[in-house]
């Protein structure tokens, strides 16, 4: 967990795609390069663009994956996590618990 967190932070976390890469490392046991390739393919960007805050800001906004800056009418919190789980095809515990409690 420490290594995945360090790598995600090093990529910029939610400012770029570091949080998404870290999720793939933890959820699917991927190595960092494999996780970067997977996420880049899902987002339709190059591996290099994953760490570009300008490109990723536009991609995250377009795909409703959440941004650091809280903006009106933009996804945040659980809404962003729902979209991330759907896009990456992974299980996120908080999403599953929310669905169960809400009867979804």
DSSP 64-85: T---SS--TTS--THHHHHHHH
Structural contact between residues 65 and 50, judged by C-beta atoms closer than 8 angstroms: no
pLDDT at 5 (0 to 100): 57
> Has residue 84 got a pLDDT over 80?
yes
State the Cα–Cα distance between residues 48 and 57, nearest whole angstrom.
Answer: 14
> Has residue 4 got a pLDDT over 80?
no
- Whether the pTM exceeds 0.85: the reply is no
State the Cα–Cα distance between residues 96 and 85, nearest whole angstrom.
Answer: 10
pLDDT at 60 (0 to 100): 87
Structural contact between residues 12 and 18, judged by C-beta atoms closer than 8 angstroms: yes
pLDDT at 72 (0 to 100): 73
Of 66 and 45, the structure prediction assigns the larger pLDDT to 45
């Amino acid at each position: 967990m420490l290594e995945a967190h360090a790598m995600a932070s090093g990529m910029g976390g939610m400012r770029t795609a570091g949080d998404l890469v870290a999720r793939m490392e933890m959820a699917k046991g991927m190595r960092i390069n494999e996780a970067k390739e997977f996420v880049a393919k899902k987002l339709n960007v190059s591996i290099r663009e994953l760490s570009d805050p300008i490109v990723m800001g536009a991609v995250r906004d377009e795909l409703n994956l959440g941004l650091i800056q809280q903006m009106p009418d933009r996804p945040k919190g659980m809404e962003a996590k729902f979209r991330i789980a759907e896009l990456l095809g992974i299980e996120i515990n908080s999403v599953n618990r929310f669905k169960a409690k809400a009867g979804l």
